[in-house]
């Protein structure tokens, strides 16, 4: 009962008459304000979520870019290594060909050395190049003018 008395006292003090249409309008306006505030909060929340999503996408795109860049570098190094390997293989083939040529030349020179150590060959060389003769031999040199 104490509540009733305090309510009635408050009513007597305010002594104002309540218009039902006005009260409804105030309640409707209050609800609209609450809804507008909730919408603003929801919009702000949505904007935060959108910002987070954008930040996440940006981060993911950076990671993808980094992964692609690293992969591209690896492919580049791999290609360069393959090119170097191919160059070295071709140089090896050329060196082997040269080695074969040098071995053939060495065999030819060994044969020439063997032939030079032969007495008959030495004698022929001494006669042709050095114009040497055996004891008791005479060399006849024809005139080149007569032969023509």
Q: What is the pLDDT of residues 46-101, one digit of tens each?
A: 888 889 999 999 999 999 999 999 999 999 999 999 999 999 999 999 999 999 99
Note the pLDDT of residue 117: 79
Q: How far is CA 142 from CA 47, 120, 126, 139, 148, in A?
A: 119, 25, 19, 10, 11
Asked whether 127 and 133 are in contact (CB, 8 A), the reply is: yes
Does this model's pTM top 0.85? My answer is no
Q: Where do the structural domains in the chain lie, given as residue ranges?
A: 24-131
State the pLDDT confidence band at 17, using cuts at 50, 70 and 90.
Answer: low
């Amino acid at each position: 009962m104490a509540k009733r008395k305090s309510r009635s006292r408050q009513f007597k003090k305010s002594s104002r008459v309540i218009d039902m249409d006005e009260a409804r309008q105030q309640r409707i306006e209050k609800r609209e304000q609450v809804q507008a505030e909730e919408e603003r909060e929801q919009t702000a929340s949505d904007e935060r979520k959108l910002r987070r999503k954008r930040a996440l996408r940006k981060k993911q795109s950076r990671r993808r870019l980094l992964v692609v860049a690293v992969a591209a570098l690896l492919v580049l190094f791999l290609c360069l290594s393959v090119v170097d390997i191919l160059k070295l293989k071709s140089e090896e083939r050329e060196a082997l060909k040269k080695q074969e040529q040098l071995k053939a030349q060495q065999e030819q020179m060994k044969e020439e050395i063997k032939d030079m150590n032969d007495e008959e060959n030495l004698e022929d060389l001494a006669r042709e190049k050095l114009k040497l003769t055996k004891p008791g031999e005479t060399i006849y040199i024809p005139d080149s003018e007569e032969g023509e």
